[in-house]
Amino acid sequence: HRCDWLHAILSSVPQLTNSPTLIVMVGLPARGKTYISKKLSRYLNWIGVPTKVFNLGQYRREAVQSYKNFEFFRPDNEEAMQIRRACATNALKDVVIYFSKDHGQVAVFDATNTTRERRISIVSFSKEKGYKVFFVESICDDPDIIAQNITEVKVSSPDYVNCDKDEAQADFLKRIECYKQSYVPLDDEKDRHLSYIKIFNVGSRYLVNRVQDHIQSRIVYYLMNIHVTPRSIFLSRHGESELNLLGRIGGDSGLSPRGHKYATALGGFIKGQHIKDLKVWTSHMKRTIQTAEHLGIPYEQWKALNEIDAGVCEELTYEDIQENHPEEFALRDQDKYRYRYPNGESYEDLVHRLEPVIMELERQENVLVVCHQAVMRCLLAYLLDKTSDELPYLKCPLHTVLKLTPVAYGCRVEHICLNIEAVNTHRERPGNVDVTRDPEEALKTIPEHF
Amino acid sequence: MTLSVCALRSADMTTDQEKNELTQTPLLKIWVPWLGMGGCKLNRRRGSSVPQFTNSPTLIVMVGLPARGKTYISKKLTRYLNWIGVPTKVFNLGQYRREAVQSYKSFEFFRPDNEEAMQIRKACATNALKDVVIYFSKEHGQVAVFDATNTTQERRVSIVSFAKEKGYKVFFVESICDDPEIIAQNITDVKVSSPDYLNCDKDEALADFLKRIECYKQTYVPLDDEKDRRLSYIKIFNVGSRYLVNCVQDHIQSRIVYYLMNIHVTPRSIFLSRHGESNMNLLGRIGGDSGLSPRGHKYATALGTFIKSQRIKDLKVWTSHMKRTIQTAEHLGIPYEQWKALNEIDAGVCEEYTYEEIQDNHPEEFALRDQDKYRYRYPKGESYEDLVHRLEPVIMELERQENVLVVCHQAVMRCLLAYLLDKTADELPYLKCPLHTVLKLTPVAYGCKVEHVFLNVEAVNTHRERPGNVDVSRDPEEALKTIPDHF
């Protein structure tokens, strides 16, 4: 008899693929391969597909302790070639371990992979192991974009720690030249049996060949929706609500007087930021809509942004939950990410329903999302690459705006507290999560309320 | 998404008091600013929880030689967009031509040197585009699919200027195929039976159609990598092995690309079934998470036998996360996958009630639901419209898959069926999906063939027709007139 618990873990989404998938990046240096690798991994991990990046540059830095200059990458540098080939072999060995022992599902091989010979050997390696292969090639000939990339991420790389910016820039450009000589892009005719996406000029154009399965289809959709235009994402909870004041979870109450004050302050803050074409999103719940109403800008309501459904615990205080459902309360503390309220949802369910929001967030530019505690934790975890263990305990206090700005390979976060008092709604994991614990142990970490 | 139309009022008309007041619209249960005695008449929605897809109407322009699947793609894409709540319509040039030239003689009509025919064909294109304008400006259409060959640069350039002048976005969908077997198959599937060839035998029709294609080939100029680099388009090669996507402008174009890249034409069947009769069904109660009744178990066993007898290759089985669908699947003896998205509609405060109890406790809600069953949202629950939105990933995966059996629930099955059979939002909530009946859907030509297979195990009826009186002031008997029998 199948275990329902196991099914719940395995099947909030369908089986995305039967075999592990090796994503192979292709492209000259400074074409965004690492940027894409990291972003794609962040997305796949967030939606529940264990993914890891294997960056060849890191293997090389470990093998060759100190980088001298571009000469290492000259195609006639036999000694270096040996080292580089050995690094690739080691990286692929680690991929095997990741798939067979670490329960990985997707591995991203982040290297130039610019020769046919290298790609053929990867394809045979994968075939032998039973892995699916999907190539992601980034092609860019815009010198401004390349220069920008080099300034943003290369100049500050460990390779150039003792160089000034111009030296680093000059050396890196020579490095690119070393690869150009032997670079053979994926070929329309010769590579027609391979599965791949070619991305031209940061996304104005895509060539997609032979998508094999669901995960590759999702990867293509994601890659086609991301962009690199500078923008900021603002995350805020609704203003303090009447139920917040009473320490009650869920429900659909309106703002408290302090909550209204916050909403007004938020409007002032937003105006002060002078944001171009700001989109404002709320949930379908009264408290986020009331908050947005104070901003004086049009907003869009997303049902997907509704707070986590606490099922039978809706509108209860933590004390009520401990009294009426002590076992549930303990189970939640044992695994807050996967725990599903009876007749309600889990954080894992929440991530799944927020995926279209994330996809649209990627497509958009400046956005303010007015949402809820659990929802904000999920969005933040995606944007800041937090694990599912960390996610349910991320601090998202009331009356604080988070401003996230993509920079280099990640996101810069600014916390802006708008100086309006509010209750604390953050409950830390208590020491004792056992079903047999005493009520005091369960209620040790609950925040104060009226 | 509900655009907050009310927030666009000028600021000085709003007092602080009004800013703090929100009211929940009774039917859709959306929070809108309180507008005093007038109230807010917000009743129109564009999808329940998706963002504004696009600011301007979108003209999708098909491109390709005859028999390349343009009409197939146009109809399928339109069906999908309408289902997700984007009003879409196909404008098929062939139909305009058939109306203008009452009877089709032969391929000669399509010869590039046939001046008289050329005039007629140009006039048809103009009329079609005029109708597009009416569709957008007067009928609240959002997407129009211009289904024609559009094989010359000249024709496409004129469409682009027309669209630019009107403020429409343009997205081209070009289908390129040089596999003679696929072409021959297409011609057999849909051309030979077209009104044009009513009085011809199959071989005559085939031969004439092939000559028709030749007429177009001479002047066909595909979208050009270089010259057309500023246009937004997707090129589909050989029924989907390869795609070229250029300059996607907005959300709706991104969704269209994703959809087109997930559909396929490999023959397969989709089986839809509800769970076996449940204990709640027997009591006439809605929702909940009960197990199967004895008859429900019998059905599940019969379903297993039926499935085996069909000898289906690589059948995937999907259930919801609810006990009754999982118990049903357990009898099949095949691995199954559970989708939370397939859970039955959440009846909120009405969960586990009988219709009599709903009438007793929430008579107004009961009436509102009968007034607009598709958009009505249960308090703390969902609407059919919400359901469609949450089922969209299921539909997308259904498109990717081949043989699938979906074991689900009444409202869910109505939504899936509406998508597969192109039913409107008005028809959807009243589609008949009785217990203990499997539906076998097989794509054929431009649509779907449906076979209803009742597995001969008795069950209660759970279908409630719309009663005559849907007024909030109606008597209880009028409300309960159409409820099905139960224990």
Helical packing angle, B384-400 and B251-262, nearest 10° = 50
Please check if B264 is assigned to a binding site: no
DSSP conformation letters of B367-419: HHHHH-TTT---TTS--HHHHHHHHHHHHHHHHH-SSEEEEE-HHHHHHHHHH
Out of A13, A207, A299, closest to residue B4 by CB: A299
- B-chain residues near A254 (CB < 8 A): 20, 22
Nearest one of B288, B295, B290 to B279, comparing CA atoms: B290
Which chain A residue is nearest to residue B329, measuring alpha carbons?
A2
- Assess B8–A contact: CB distance below 8 Å, yes or no: yes
CB A205 within 8 A of CB B245: yes
- Reading the block at residue A108, the tokens are 């991203």
**What residues of chain B lie within 8 A of the CB of A353, using their CB?**
390
> Whole-angstrom Cα distance, residue A213 to residue A132?
10
Three-state DSSP class for A398? Answer: coil
Number of C-alpha atoms within 13 angstroms, CB side, residue A194? 26
Contact B340 A12 (CB under 8 A): yes
Which chain A residues contact residue B27 at CB under 8 A?
Answer: none
Is A287 annotated to bind a ligand? Reply is yes
CATH architecture of A21-224: 3-Layer(aba) Sandwich (3.40)
| Residue A190 at interface with chain B, using a CB cutoff of 8 Å | no
- CA distance, residue A143 to nearest chain B CA (Å): 19
The model's pLDDT over B365-391, given as tens digits with 9 standing for 90+, comes to 999 999 999 999 999 999 999 999 999
Q: Name the residue among A204, A208, A356 with its Cβ closest to that of B243.
A: A208
Distance from CA of A240 to the nearest CA of B (A): 14
User: How far is the alpha carbon of A345 from chain B, nearest alpha carbon, in Å?
Assistant: 10
Distance CA A421, CA B195 (A): 73
- Give pLDDT, residue A156: 86
Q: Please tell me whether B46 is known to bind a ligand.
A: no
Distance CA B244, CA B247 (A): 10
B44 touches chain A (CB under 8 A): no
Kindly report the nearest CA distance between residue A62 and chain B, in angstroms. 39
**A285 at interface of B, judged by CB pairs closer than 8 A:** yes
The one catalytic residue among A238, A294, A325, A372? A238
Closest Cβ opposite residue A207 in set B11, B20, B244: B244
Class of CATH domain B270-481: alpha beta
Residue B97 to chain A, least CA–CA distance (Å):
35
Q: Say if A265 is an interface residue toward chain B (CB within 8 Å).
A: no
Cβ-Cβ contacts under 8 Å, B22 against chain A: 254, 286, 289-290, 293
Q: Which of residues 298-337 of B touch A (CB under 8 A)?
A: 318, 321, 326, 330, 337
Query: Rounded to whole angstroms, how far apart are CA atoms A200 and A204?
Result: 6
Cβ–Cβ below 8 Å for B339 and A14 = yes
Instruction: Judge if A21-224 and A233-444 fold alike in CATH terms.
Output: yes
| Range 212-241 of B in CB contact (< 8 A) with A | 229, 241
pLDDT of residue B45: 35
B278 labelled as ligand-binding?
A: yes
pLDDT of A74 reads 93
> For position B53, what pLDDT does the model report?
58
The CA distance from A212 to the nearest CA of chain B, in Å, is 10
The answer to whether B344 is a known catalytic residue is yes
* Whether B258 contacts chain A with CB within 8 A: yes
Say what the pTM is: 0.92
Distance from the B4 Cα atom to the nearest Cα atom in chain A, whole angstroms: 6
CATH match for B58-261 among 3.40.50.300, 3.40.228.10, 3.40.710.10, 3.40.50.2000: 3.40.50.300
Nearest C-alpha neighbor of A313 from the set A359, A348, A267, A344: A344
Query: Which residues on chain B are in Cβ contact (under 8 Å) with A8?
Result: 321, 338
pLDDT at B48: 36
State CA B334 to chain mean position distance.
Answer: 30
Q: How far apart are CA A403 and CA B199, in angstroms?
A: 69
Closest residue in A to B10 (Cα) is A296
> What pLDDT was estimated at residue B21?
80
* CB-based contact, B23 to chain A, within 8 Å: no
Residue B5 pLDDT: 38
Asked if the Cβ–Cβ distance from A2 to B330 is below 8 Å, we say: yes
Q: Which residues of B touch A7 (CB under 8 A)?
A: 326, 338
Task: Select the residue of A284, A298, A304 nearest B3 (Cβ to Cβ).
Answer: A298
Asked whether residue A218 is marked as a ligand-binding residue, the answer is no
Which residues of chain B have a CB within 8 Å of the CB of A205?
Answer: 229, 244-247
Reading chain B (487 residues) residue by residue, the pLDDT tens digits are 443 433 334 344 445 555 568 888 999 998 988 765 444 444 333 333 345 556 799 999 999 999 999 999 999 999 999 999 999 999 999 999 999 998 888 999 999 999 999 999 999 999 999 999 999 999 999 999 999 999 999 999 999 999 999 999 999 999 999 999 999 999 988 888 888 998 889 999 999 999 999 999 999 999 999 999 999 999 999 999 999 999 999 999 999 999 999 999 999 999 999 999 999 999 999 999 999 999 999 999 999 999 999 999 999 999 999 999 999 999 999 999 999 999 999 999 999 999 999 999 999 999 999 999 999 999 999 999 999 999 999 999 999 999 999 999 999 999 999 999 999 999 999 999 999 999 999 998 888 999 999 999 999 999 999 999 999 999 999 999 999 999 8
Q: Is A238 a catalytic residue?
A: yes
Size of interface A-B (CB pairs under 8 A): 130
Distances (CA, A) of B339 to A7, B278, B343: 10, 19, 7
Collapsing DSSP states into helix, strand and coil, what is residue B7?
Answer: helix
CB distance from A255 to chain B under 8 Å? yes
The reply to whether residue B247 touches residue A207, judged by beta carbons under 8 angstroms, is: no
Nearest CA to B83 among B344, B385, B410, B394?
Answer: B385
| A248 annotated as belonging to a binding site for a ligand | no
Give which of B130, B117, B126 is closest to B216, Cα–Cα: B117
C-alpha dihedral, A237 to A239 to A242 to A246, nearest 10° = 60
Of B1, B19, B251, the CB nearest to A302: B1
Question: What residue segments make up the domains of chain B, in order of their start?
Answer: 58-261, 270-481
What are the per-10-residue average pLDDT scores of chain A (450 residues)? Answer: 39 62 97 96 97 97 90 93 95 97 97 97 97 97 91 88 90 94 96 98 96 96 96 98 97 97 98 96 97 94 97 97 97 97 96 96 97 98 97 98 93 96 97 96 94
Query: Is the CB of residue A193 less than 8 Å away from at least one CB of chain B?
Result: no
Q: Of the listed B297, B331, B344, B392, which one is catalytic?
A: B344
Q: Do B7 and A297 touch (CB under 8 A)?
A: yes
Quick check: B22 and A290 CB within 8 A? Answer: yes
**Residue A155 confidence (pLDDT):** 84
* Nearest CB to A214; choose among B251, B351, B400: B400
| Summary count for chain A: helices (H), strands (E) | 16, 12
A14 shares contact with chain B (CB less than 8 Å)? yes
Q: Does A80 touch chain B (CB under 8 A)?
A: no
C-beta of residue B40 within 8 angstroms of C-beta of residue B23: yes
Domain A233-444: assigned CATH number: 3.40.50.1240
Give the pLDDT confidence score for residue B43 in this predicted structure. 37
